[in-house]
Amino acid sequence: MKRRLYRGKDFKRAQNIADLREIARKRLPNFCFEYVDGGAEDEITLRRNRSVFEDMAFRPRTLVDVARRDQTVELFGRAMAAPFMIGPTGFSGLLARDGDLALARAAAAAGVPYVLSNASTMRLEEVVERAGGRVWMQLYLYRTREYAARLVERAEKTGVEALVVTTDSAIFGNREWDRRNYAKPLRLDVRNSLDVLRHPRWMADVLLPRGMPRFANLGDLLPPGQDSVRGAALAIAKELDPSLSWADIRWLRSLWPRRLIVKGVLSVQDAVLAADHGVDGIVLTNHGGRQLDGAISAMEILPEVAATVGHRLTVLVDGGFRRGADIVKAIALGAHAVLLGRATNYGLAAGGYPGVVHAIDILKTEIDRVLGLLGCPSVTQIDSHCIDWSRTNAAVMPAAAEALLRPNAA
């Protein structure tokens, strides 16, 4: 009998994130799944984000007591129940009703932070009030800086723990596969319009009774009545600011009194600049392969960045994480934690809030198993000696591990 992934619709039967992806693909209209799953141009970066993990091999130890295993880590002085969090993904309400809230609630239940997207379909204040847990807020610095200032003020009043400013989208990536679904900008072609009708369960959940979700945190930026997908897209295209620079980070630092994280770093030089500008952390990322096609994976630069600035600021990483083993490899190379994007979105699309919980449980279970098989009872004991990777400079990896273990690093 030929091997194949689970092909049913019951997300509870998903054995891994790949199963959840397949369930999500069937439940969502094609244009929605393409929005979540696709990347820029030839999707070289998208594939690289996954293939990089195949080049890394574990070096397990044996005859180690692993009867008790602990994946708790500390981030910004507070414990996290696992070495990952849910990162910002825009327009989550397109995947399931109140998608942002479902993601936030699942993160809170799992004991990990949640980063609400700037392009969310629920207001920041509502998510914080109804979800509980540790909520962070993503911010794009548009041309209208007054919008950023107002959002910072809202985040502070709401009790948001950290602000995550995304810096790698001052120019939109070329997402050709996504655009092919439309006859005109954000107007579905006939084929995709008919495909929507083939997904009544999605229509009942997402479109009824309120219609297409709207952007709830962009109100101060958009013209009146333009918070629809089409209206917001046209307005945001004019608001992108290619002149964005480190001076803007300095300005934002002057406004925001809590943890400030720069998301969009993919070089050692920029990591050093981030530390010099007083931020508290960085996210190494290529934007999930959705911006510059042909860029390196964040994992490839992680060891050198961790060795250089890991003692000065918190180093986070995202891009291509589908297995608990992937997360353990990132910790081994010097990351303090991992941000999840598509992995939890697949769970959301497959089963709403319970689907996200299932995705998180899958990853936690995998991490627990990897720790036991590695002969490492605690994730805090994971270091570069657990990994064999020919692409990484042998002199850099021990330095990355040492940076990770310094108590003031996180």
- Residues tagged in the binding site annotation for FMN: 88-90, 117, 138, 166, 318-322, 341-342
**Residue 287 known to be catalytic:** yes
Pairing of the two strands 57-58 and 387-388: antiparallel
The phi and psi torsions of 184 (rounded to 5 degrees) equal -135, 165
- List, in sequence order, every residue forming a beta bridge with 163; answer none if it has no partner: 137, 260
Over the range 219-233, which residues count as b (16 or more CB within 10 Å of their CB) and which as e?
eebbeeebbbbebbe
User: Which residues are annotated as part of the binding site for glyoxylate?
Assistant: 35, 140, 175, 263, 287, 290
Burial class (CB in 10 A: 0-12, 13-18, 19+), 15: exposed
One of 199, 277, 287, 358 is an active-site residue; which one? 287
Spatial distance between the Cα atoms of 321 and 350, rounded to a whole number of angstroms: 18
Q: Is the distance from CB of 163 to CB of 155 less than 8 angstroms?
A: yes
User: Which residues are annotated as part of the binding site?
Assistant: 35, 88-90, 117, 138, 140, 166, 175, 263, 287, 290, 318-322, 341-342
Burial class (CB in 10 A: 0-12, 13-18, 19+), 148: buried
Structural Rg of the chain based on CA atoms: 21
Q: Is the distance from CB of 320 to CB of 341 less than 8 angstroms?
A: no
Preceding peptide of 213 cis, ω within 30°? no
Q: So which residues are the catalytic ones?
A: 287
